[in-house]
Amino acid sequence: MAEKPKKTAKVVPLKNRKCPTCGAPAAVEFKPFCCKRCADVDLGRWLNGGYRIPTDEAPGDVPGDVPDDTPGGDGPGGS
């Protein structure tokens, strides 16, 4: 008895999205951005903390957070 061929999923091309920086159509070379400039602008926002989520916690308030250099410690940089 011959097996029935399996139905394959229909291939649907991805929706052409707009550049998140300026709204122009995205270029394949710089996806999801339209150009190198928009990619660099976004990278600059990341590096400058533009996408940071504001919080009331101080850096040392996070449980399990390793303190930086403590004076008199036994680790590197200690006395």
| Domain assignment of residue 24, yes or no | yes
Which pTM was predicted?
Answer: 0.53
Range of the domain at 21: 17-51
| Domain assignment of residue 33, yes or no | yes
CATH of the domain at 37: 3.30.50.10
* Structural domain count of the chain: 1
Structure tokens of 6? 């399996």
Three-state DSSP at 25 gives strand
DSSP state letter for 18:
B
Structure tokens of 41? 């602008």
CB atoms within 10 A of CB 15: 6
Instruction: Say whether pLDDT at 79 is over 60.
Output: no
| Domain assignment of residue 11, yes or no | no
Q: What is the mean pLDDT of the chain?
A: 80
Q: Residue 45 belongs to what H/E stretch?
A: helix 36-47
What is the per-residue pLDDT for 73? Answer: 54
The model's pLDDT over 1-17, given as tens digits with 9 standing for 90+, comes to 567 667 777 876 667 78
CB atoms within 10 A of CB 19: 20
Instruction: Give the confidence band of 69 by pLDDT, cuts at 50, 70, 90.
Output: low
Residue predicted with more confidence, 21 or 16:
21
